[in-house]
Chains A and B, each alone.
Chain A
């Protein structure tokens, strides 16, 4: 086995094993259901809220834009 092959094998092994050891995410491995659900729920909430706000704003602006595009009735000039 050449030195290069050994180096590649070692790197690949470390890449597979080390992330399992890290477990940096406390959400994913918390044994308590309540805590895990809180993390999951707030993640979903904080992800969807800005999208909902942007979508709502775009719909509102489109609605207002359509209203503004309607021709304004011309008033008769007074004598």
Chain B
């Protein structure tokens, strides 16, 4: 190797350090959320078609859904999403301070699920079951699928909260858990407008 060649290699500028575009967990969660969005879209479409084809919706012999109380639940869920967004923004500057709003978001989400469960018990008592009519079938299918997602997302938030307590939660892990909850929050108003109103 000649001296000139050695000088040329020594003075080659080093490439600037690059950051990862998206953490793997976030990318995986986004893909999962997209598939789940299509699942809900399919159910909304099926509900829309069944409703349009029915002579009477809801059927006269079926109980009416509690629109007002569910609106309160919806407000709690939306508030939970906002509180989590606040925690998410707080996280890079002060992870310790973000833990408290993360807990509040989890508690508000838990309240939503518990209130929906209470509503289910009341509706079953009034005669609305998954086999009582197409109306009941769609209600329990759509709202139940959302509740399953909400429970799973709450477990994710609890996991994040506990991990943040020991200082082992990374920004990518926080975002992964948060994205799932944002999805649960954002898909609900569409379900509420379609199923309840």
Contact = CB atoms under 8 A, between A and B. Distances in A.
B19 A38 contact: no
A29 interface: no
Contact of B38 (A35, A42, A50): A50
A59 interface: no
A2 interface: no
Interface residues of A, number: 22
B30 interface: yes
A15 interface: no
Query: Residue among A32, A46, A49 with the most chain B CB within 10 A?
Result: A49
B21 A49 contact: no
B59 interface: no
A1 B34 CA distance: 61
A39 B50 CA distance: 10
A68 B18 contact: yes
Category for how many chain B residues contact A: 20 to 34
Contacts of B16: 71-72
Interface string B44-69: 11001101110000000000000000
Interface of A: 32, 34-35, 37-39, 41-42, 45-46, 49-50, 53, 57, 61, 64-65, 67-69, 71-72
26 contacts: A35-B49, A35-B52, A35-B53, A37-B52, A38-B48, A38-B49, A38-B52, A42-B44, A45-B41, A45-B45, A46-B41, A46-B42, A46-B45, A49-B37, A50-B38, A53-B34, A57-B30, A61-B22, A64-B21, A65-B21, A67-B19, A69-B18, A71-B17, A72-B16, A72-B17, A72-B19
Interface of B: 16-22, 30, 34, 37-38, 41-42, 44-45, 48-49, 51-53
